[in-house]
Each structure stands twice: as structure tokens, then as C-alpha cells.
Amino acid sequence: MPVDLDPRRFTLLDIEHRDDGVSIVVLNRPEKRNALNVATIDELVDFFAAAPRAGVRAVVLAGAGDHFCAGLDLIEHHDADRSPADFMHVCLRWHEAFNKMEYGGVPVIAALSGAVVGGGLELASSAHIRVMDNSTYFALPEGQRGLFTGGGATIRVAQLVGKAQMVDMMLTGRVHQGQAAVDLGLAQYIETERSSFDKALEIAQQAAANLPLTNFAICSAISHMQNMSPFDAAYAESVVAGVVNTQPDARARLAAFADKSAPRTRPDAP
Ligand code: 1HE
């Protein structure tokens, strides 16, 4: 692993690079319910800026302790007594971190437990796949705290649940959990027998087995294309497919399909 992702460089993120190419990234301030202070956002920017160039094949993002993330560090924010410009720059840094996650091309699987609230939900919604378990709950308590979202919820949470549901979450502080949260679009998987971490790791390992260039397209191009007109997205899709679908590394997989040694795409396939 290149030196710039040496886990020892990080103090607020606990990082493990596994031999299978999956990196485990854990928000490591459980005593503060993993609230996002400026220094943690800096480390997220550092990690996700370097990950695509460092050979990381997939990431599991989790929180230490009982809660994934309690959102903005409200104590730091209170003590800093920021100006509007100061806080705008805080938010721009959050966007830098979260955009690097969403558009970086490396699959990020969020293992969600306990509170996924406020900025914690903004962080989770920047991942490509969200896995919850029986402990997980989602909320946007900014409305009750006299605040507003600043880390991309108006874009990503609204895309996941729709505008009306997001407005409801913010006006009323409504909490979503269980299967209803999956049905709403907040998570793609719910684990009832084991932890969200176990399932997230399994998904990350599956994703890591794909070709990196293919994953790059899945975890970057799809997001970019949502920002384009359908006309331009179709053009961009053709260009991306031109590059990805002719990559030399794909030839062995195509040959395996042709000689019938590759698994078929069926509901009962392993
Ligand atoms: C914190 C934070 C935080 C906990 N900032 N320090 N987010 C919120 O409104 C969620 C605020 N947090 C909570 O509602 C609760 O802490 C939890 C439900 C997440 C967990 O409850 P609990 O009973 O396990 O813990 P606790 O006793 O409330 O907190 C334990 C410690 O964590 C305590 O610190 P201590 O030094 O007194 O022990 C808390 O102060 C600390 N802590 N949450 C700072 N958020 C870019 S804009 C984004 C807008 C937002 O994200 S608004 C934030 C929404």
C-alpha cells in the first residue's frame, strides 16, 4: 500500500488495508458518537482523494461504538462561533470529502449502526451502498437544532427518499428505522441476524472482485450522468462503455462466458 494511505497517518480514522483489496475505514471518536469535526473531515478528504490511485478496490465505512455518526460536531460549532463565511468553508470541505467518495470510482459500502443522523446521514448517502441492521436509525434533526443541512443532504438524501420525505424528516424530526427505512430508500440492505458490518464486508469483497476499471465506471460515471441531460448522458455512457467494454482485462471473462466456464446469471447462481 502506498505510503500516502499508511494507516499511521490517520488519527481520527481507524484504517485497515486487507489483502483482498478491501480497506476498512472506521470513524474513531465513539466517545463523541463519531461527530464530524473539522479534523475528521480533513482525514476523509485525504483518504478518499488518494484511494482511487492507491489500489484500494473497495471500502467499508463504519463507525466505532454503537453509533455510525451523530453528524456535525455541534460542540466544536458552538465553541467556534463561526461567521457565515467560516461555515460556508466548513461545508465546502464536507462537499470535497463526500464528492471524492461518490465520484472517486472506488466502491464505498457504508456499514450503518445506531444513529445515522444529520451530517451522518449526509456522509452515509455519499456511499454507493448502505447496509443497516436492527440498531440503525436515520434522522435529520437539524430542523430541531435551529440548523440546516450543509453536507449535501438537499442533493443526496432528497435523491434517495424524495423531496417530500426529506422535508418531513426536517420539519418533524421523524426517525426512520427497520424495513420501512429500506422501503423508503435510505438503505439497500437490512441485516436482522448479524451486524451491518458483516454484510457490508461481504458486499465489499464481491465488489472488489470486479475489474477496477469497471468499478470506476459504476462508482463515478453513473453519478456524473445523473447530473447531465439524458442526451449528453447517452453520449457519455457510450464513451465510457467504449473504454471499459474493450479493456484487455475483460477478455478472459468474456472467453470464460464463451467456453461456458463462467457462472450464468440466474436467480440460483452461486
Ligand atoms: C456530540 C454530538 C454531536 C454526541 N456533536 N458532540 N446531529 C444531532 O443533532 C445528533 C446529536 N447527538 C445525539 O442526539 C445523541 O448524542 C446520540 C443520539 C447520537 C447518541 O446519544 P447518547 O445518549 O448515546 O450520547 P450523548 O450522551 O448524547 O453524547 C455522548 C457524547 O457525545 C457527549 O459528549 P460528552 O463530552 O458530554 O461525553 C456529547 O456531547 C457527544 N456528542 N453527538 C458533538 N453531534 C454540515 S451541516 C450538518 C448539520 C448537522 O449534522 S446537525 C447535527 C445533527
The answer to whether the CB of 9 is under 6 A from ligand 1 is: no
Whether residues 61 and 33 fall in one domain:
yes
Reported in sequence order, the residue ranges of the chain that DSSP labels E, i.e. its strands, are 13-17, 22-27, 58-63, 108-111, 115-117, 129-133, 137-139, 176-177, 189-191
Over the stretch 85-111, which tens digit does the pLDDT of each residue have? 999 999 999 999 999 999 999 999 999
Annotated catalytic, 122? Answer: yes
Flag whether 119 is in a domain: yes
Residue 67 Cα to ligand 1 midpoint, Å, equals 10
Domain region containing 176 = 3-208
The Cα-based distances of 104 to 54, 128, 198 in angstroms read 12, 11, 24
Residue 121 Cα to ligand 1 midpoint, Å, equals 13
pLDDT at 267 over 80: yes
Which SS3 state, helix, strand or coil, does residue 17 take?
A: strand
Exposed e or buried b per residue across 129-149, where buried means at least 16 C-beta atoms within 10 angstroms of its C-beta: bbbbbeebbbbbbbbeeebeb
Give the pLDDT band (50/70/90) at residue 270: low
The answer to whether the CB of 212 is under 6 A from ligand 1 is: no
Flag whether 267 is in a domain: no
Residue nearest to atom 12 of ligand 1 (CA): 70
Domain count, the chain: 2
Q: For residue 1, what pLDDT is reported? A: 52
CATH of the domain at 234: 1.10.12.10
Whether residues 241 and 151 fall in one domain:
no
Whether residues 180 and 75 fall in one domain:
yes
Cell numbers placing 207: 465488489
What number does the ligand 1 atom closest to the CA of 66 have?
Answer: 24
Whether residues 203 and 219 fall in one domain:
no
Residue nearest to atom 24 of ligand 1 (CA): 33
Flag whether 22 is in a domain: yes
Q: For residue 268, what pLDDT is reported? A: 80
The answer to whether the CB of 77 is under 6 A from ligand 1 is: no
Whether residues 225 and 109 fall in one domain:
no
Over the stretch 197-207, which tens digit does the pLDDT of each residue have? 999 999 999 99
Flag whether 59 is in a domain: yes
Whether residues 32 and 114 fall in one domain:
yes
Whether residues 24 and 118 fall in one domain:
yes
Q: For residue 100, what pLDDT is reported? A: 98
- 107 C-beta neighbours (distance < 10 Å), count: 25
Flag whether 269 is in a domain: no
| Cβ(92)–Cβ(45) below 8 Å | no
CATH of the domain at 88: 3.90.226.10
Q: Which of 66, 79, 37 has its CA nearest to residue 195?
A: 66
**pTM for this structure?**
0.97
| Cβ(91)–Cβ(151) below 8 Å | yes
Whether residues 174 and 239 fall in one domain:
no
The answer to whether the CB of 133 is under 6 A from ligand 1 is: no
The answer to whether the CB of 73 is under 6 A from ligand 1 is: yes
Whether residues 142 and 20 fall in one domain:
yes
Name the average pLDDT for the chain. Answer: 97
Q: For residue 4, what pLDDT is reported? A: 82
Residue the block writes with cell 437544532: 145
Q: From CA 60, how far away is CA 66, in angstroms rounded? A: 16
Over the stretch 162-180, which tens digit does the pLDDT of each residue have? 999 999 999 999 999 999 9
Q: Which of 102, 122, 193, 202 is catalytic?
A: 122
Residue bearing the bigger pLDDT, 203 or 3: 203
Flag whether 270 is in a domain: no
Give the pLDDT band (50/70/90) at residue 127: very high
| Averaged pLDDT for residues 115-125 | 99
Whether residues 18 and 134 fall in one domain:
yes
Q: Which of 123, 150, 137, 155 has its CA nearest to residue 59?
A: 123
Whether residues 58 and 184 fall in one domain:
yes
Flag whether 266 is in a domain: no
Flag whether 133 is in a domain: yes
Whether residues 245 and 192 fall in one domain:
no
Percent over 70 (pLDDT), the chain:
98
Over the stretch 54-71, which tens digit does the pLDDT of each residue have? 999 999 999 999 999 999
Domain boundary residue among 169, 187, 208? 208
Annotated catalytic, 142? Answer: yes
The packing angle between helices 163-172 and 153-161, to 10°, is 110
